[in-house]
């Protein structure tokens, strides 16, 4: 069996599972945010339960339209806030404690290897970087899981992604996943598990793995998984999670497809609109005039990402006419960036620093595009109208490319200016 099937089999108390089996499994964590929680909580109410199945296994994060964009979003947040306080939800994140959900949950030690995590958000697959089976579900499924503590799943087939070699400078996890999606397409892993392995993992940080796992959904995958090696164990221990050697191991022949990637073949990538699969090497990208650059999000809003951007921006000034928005992914990332002087670098360069929020990524607020405007972002989607007007365009890249492009005003390889 693949690693995914071994995790699910253990949770379902079955000796083995085959692709496309239907199973019901207990969940270790159910997640919803201010956009998706309202529907989930109303669905929960239909069960007539006094409270959720486990107050320690539900996480509610007000991160999409907060600080509240308008009256509608304020009402959404108020509804979730009342529920969280009434039911004494342990992991409720609001106000000064709130961050982007897929950044703060690993930080807070809420994710550990072998868990089954479902979230009413498609990028819940992020947590596969730490050896958890994690996948996005509909709000109704999340609401049902809050009541019952279980979820119904179809077991996915698995793809083995073997990576080897080392990265060039300015290349990392974002480039790996954009390159891979470019190879297989936005439906190339449809309802499959993408399981990463190989010697190249020695050169991919946990932050880079979180970025890659975050975007497996952009290839249609059900989930993504990385092995729990010494890098993951160190990350987990710093988050307060005891994680020794993981006993769950995949079989060698449990995969429907195998892909081999040499990291040395990957140049910094740019995904052209309107799909993440339209990835090209940065030197092949059109030199379009940019109106906005966004550095942050659940994909690239961790401290490693901000350090990379600051390395490019330090001592320089962004191009006139380019709006640059920095989005730290959590209060912890924000504080580290301040203590390391990164905020001074960003402000001296002419960037604006936002509180942790998903706002610009989904065209919610804090950076919406007008008709005809073009943005380069370290986010995960560049669909038509994703960040604002349907006649705007979004390009995707890693933080170094985004920062270099902010300096020149058009898509630029950081190696060209540094």
Q: Stretch 255-263: mean pLDDT, rounded?
A: 96
Please report the pLDDT score of residue 252 as a whole number.
72
Q: Stretch 378-396: mean pLDDT, rounded?
A: 98
Q: Hey, do 3-263 and 270-417 end up sharing a CATH topology, with the first three levels equal?
A: yes
Q: Stretch 26-51: mean pLDDT, rounded?
A: 97
C-alpha dist (Å) from residue 389 to 201, 384, 402 = 39, 8, 21
Q: What is the pLDDT of residues 145-167, one digit of tens each?
A: 999 999 999 999 999 999 999 99
Show the tokens assigned to 373.
């405007």
Q: What is the pLDDT of residues 81-119, one digit of tens each?
A: 999 999 999 999 999 999 999 999 999 999 999 999 999
Q: Are 146 and 53 in contact (CB under 8 A)?
A: yes
Please report the pLDDT score of residue 125 as a whole number.
98
Determine if the peptide bond prior to 256 is cis (ω within 30°).
no
Q: What is the pLDDT of residues 234-251, one digit of tens each?
A: 999 999 998 765 666 677
CATH fold group of domain 3-263:
Aconitase; domain 3 (3.30.499)
Please report the pLDDT score of residue 66 as a whole number.
86
337 Rama sector, left if φ>0, alpha if ψ -120 to 50, beta otherwise: alpha
Q: What is the pLDDT of residues 280-303, one digit of tens each?
A: 999 999 999 999 999 999 999 999
Q: What is the mean pLDDT of the chain?
A: 96
Please report the pLDDT score of residue 1 as a whole number.
87
Q: Kindly list the domain boundaries of the chain, sorted by start residue.
A: 3-263, 270-417
Q: Which residues pair with 410 in a beta bridge?
A: 289
C-alpha dist (Å) from residue 14 to 23, 25, 116, 122, 183 = 10, 10, 15, 27, 35
- At residue 388, the 3 state secondary structure works out as strand
280 φ, ψ (degrees, to nearest 5): -140, 160
- At residue 269, the 3 state secondary structure works out as strand
Please report the pLDDT score of residue 236 as a whole number.
96
Determine if the pTM surpasses 0.95.
yes
Place of tokens 């040499």: 262
For Cα atoms 288, 353, 289, give the angle at the middle one, nearest 5 degrees: 10
Please report the pLDDT score of residue 248 as a whole number.
64
Nearest to 164 by CA among 129, 194, 130, 203: 203
- Number of Cβ within a 10 Å radius of residue 170: 21
CATH fold group of domain 270-417:
Aconitase; domain 3 (3.30.499)
**Helix pair 303-313, 206-214: axis angle to 10 deg:** 100
Share of the chain above pLDDT 90, in %: 95
Please report the pLDDT score of residue 350 as a whole number.
98
Tally DSSP H helices, then E strands, for the chain. 14, 18
Q: What is the pLDDT of residues 333-350, one digit of tens each?
A: 999 999 999 999 999 999
Please report the pLDDT score of residue 246 as a whole number.
63
Tell me the C-alpha distance between 418 and 244, whole Å: 41
Please report the pLDDT score of residue 319 as a whole number.
98
Please report the pLDDT score of residue 245 as a whole number.
58
Please report the pLDDT score of residue 345 as a whole number.
98
Place of tokens 């959404």: 76
């Amino acid at each position: 069996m693949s690693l995914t099937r071994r995790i699910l089999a253990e949770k379902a108390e079955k000796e083995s599972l085959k692709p496309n089996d239907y199973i019901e499994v207990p969940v270790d964590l159910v997640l919803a945010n201010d956009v998706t929680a309202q529907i989930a909580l109303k669905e929960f109410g239909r069960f007539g339960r006094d409270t959720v199945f486990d107050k320690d296994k539900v996480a509610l994060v007000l991160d999409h339209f907060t600080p509240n964009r308008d009256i509608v979003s304020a009402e959404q947040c108020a509804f979730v806030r009342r529920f969280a306080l009434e039911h004494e939800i342990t992991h409720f994140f609001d106000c000064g404690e709130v961050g982007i959900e897929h950044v703060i949950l690993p930080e807070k030690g809420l994710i550990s290897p072998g868990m089954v995590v479902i979230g009413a958000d498609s990028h819940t697959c992020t947590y596969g970087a730490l050896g958890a089976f994690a996948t996005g579900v509909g709000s109704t499924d999340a609401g049902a899981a809050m009541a019952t503590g279980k979820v119904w799943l179809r077991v996915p087939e698995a793809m083995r992604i073997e990576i080897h070699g080392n990265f060039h400078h300015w290349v990392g996890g974002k480039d790996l996943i954009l390159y891979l999606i470019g190879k297989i397409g936005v439906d190339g892993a449809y309802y499959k598990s993408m399981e990463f392995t190989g010697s190249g993992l020695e050169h991919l940080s946990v932050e880079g793995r979180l970025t890659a796992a975050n975007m497996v959904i952009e290839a249609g995958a059900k989930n993504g998984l990385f092995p729990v090696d010494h890098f993951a164990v160190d990350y987990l221990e710093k988050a307060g999670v005891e994680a020794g050697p993981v006993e769950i191991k995949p079989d060698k022949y449990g995969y429907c497809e195998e892909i081999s990637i040499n990291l040395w073949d990957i140049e910094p990538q740019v995904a052209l609109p309107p799909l993440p699969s339209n990835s090209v090497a940065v030197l092949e990208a059109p030199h379009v005039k940019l109106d906005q650059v966004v550095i942050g999000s659940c994909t690239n809003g961790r401290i490693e990402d901000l350090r990379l951007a600051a390395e490019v921006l330090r001592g320089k000034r962004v191009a006139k006419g380019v709006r640059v928005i920095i989005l730290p992914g959590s209060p912890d990332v924000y504080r580290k960036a301040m203590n390391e002087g990164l905020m001074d670098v960003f402000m001296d360069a002419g960037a604006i620093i936002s509180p942790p929020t998903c706002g610009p990524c989904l065209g919610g607020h804090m950076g919406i595009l007008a008709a005809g405007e073009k943005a380069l972002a370290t986010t995960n989607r560049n669909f038509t109208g994703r960040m604002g007007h349907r006649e705007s365009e979004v390009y995707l890249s890693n933080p170094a490319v985004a920062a270099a492009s902010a300096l020149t005003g058009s898509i630029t390889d950081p190696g060209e200016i540094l």
